[in-house]
Amino acid sequence: MASSSIAEIPVIWFQASTCTGCSVSVLNSASPTIKNLLIDEVIPGKHINLRYHATVMAGQGEAVFAELDRTSDTRKGAYLLVVEGAIPMAENGVYGCAGEKDGQPIPLATTAERLSRNAMAVIALGTCAAFGGIAAGAPNPSGCVGVDRLLHQRGIDVPLINVPGCPPHPDWFVGTVASILLSGLPKSDELDEHKRPKAYYGKLIHENCPRRAYFEEGKFAKKFGDPGCLNELGCKGPVTYADCPLRLWNNGTSWCIASGGSCIGCVEPGFPDLLAPFYQKLTDEALPAIGKGQ
């Protein structure tokens, strides 16, 4: 348990345009469990103090919005902001609001901007928060963008770490937070060109895939359930950077390709539009675009 000698790091978890799947994934963290994460010391002497999370907190209404303001105003530069979900920007953000001020709805973009300005760092959790993701899929009438785009448009210079995935693996989030508590914010060479920690997003799925030998031998599955490489069934492993084949999901139980499905590239910028159709073989023309869009 936390004692007075333990440093508490305030965390605000702000949900924008999200299906809440990223929260569900992280709440299912196995080691440490979410209880360990929130109650115990994540690393010796440091403890997370989760000040706000709309899905799991008991409070509601003005009292919890007041807590957002209090943390932002009194802990300037000392709290971590986690953003889950994309930010709707069209029509002054009217397509996504939370709370009211003077009887008027407060756009998610307004709150995300305000909280980002005072944060020590922002973690964009999930592909929607990192790159727009499914919320920004065509035709994107609400003008959803990732946090990076919001910060750029509003001129906010705060360290940003993207932890994409649809949903992200709990280890990717927990490991990123633990690393910040242990050694501070990641150095630029610890992040890739899309601000993802290389520790988790440093290698192609294709490099570590157990079906890689089939690929090299030219043995390709013709339908799901067949043995063989899933390249001809649309696998996006050759253009997707994540450690799923090594880390596995659901507490080490399995992962997409081991369970017979292909990788759909859920951690990449441009997901889902640039990676679609999911079950169509990658073409040489598509390759240069994938991973570049947002």
**Of the two residues 194 and 206, which places its CB atom closer to ligand SF4 in the complex?**
206
Q: Please name every residue paired with 18 in a beta bridge, in sequence order, or none if there are none.
A: none
**Under the criterion CB under 6 A, does residue 163 sit at the interface with ligand SF4?**
no
Does residue 97 carry a catalytic annotation? no
Determine contact, residues 95/88, Cβ cutoff 8 Å: yes
CB-based contacts of 137, cutoff 8 Å, min separation 6: 272, 273
Q: Binding-site residue total for ligand SF4 (CB under 6 A)?
A: 22
Q: Quick check: 162 binds ligand SF4 (CB under 6 A)?
A: no
Determine contact, residues 89/143, Cβ cutoff 8 Å.
yes
DSSP string, 223-240: STTSSSB-GGGT--GGG-
| CA distance readout (Å), 141 to 129, 134, 171 | 17, 12, 33
Binding residue for ligand SF4, selected from 123, 235, 239, 274, defined by CB under 6 A: 235
Closest CA relative to residue 124, chosen from 142, 95, 151, 98: 151
Q: How far apart are CB 231 and ligand SF4 at their closest, in Å?
A: 4
Q: Residue 143 or residue 245: which is nearer to ligand SF4 going by CB?
A: 245
97 forms beta bridges with 107
Q: Which of 26, 119, 123, 229 binds ligand SF4 (CB under 6 A)?
A: 229
How many angstroms separate the CA atoms of 154 and 285, rounded? 34
> Residues 181 to 220: which contact ligand SF4 by CB under 6 A?
205-206, 209, 211-212, 215
Min separation Cβ 162 and ligand SF4, Å: 14
Query: Least CB distance from residue 185 to ligand SF4, whole Å?
Result: 25
User: Which residues participate in catalysis according to the annotation?
Assistant: 19, 22, 128, 166, 206, 209, 229, 235, 244, 256, 263, 266
* Chain residues in the site for ligand SF4 (CB under 6 A): 205-206, 209, 211-212, 215, 229-231, 235, 237-238, 240, 242, 244, 255-257, 263-264, 266-267
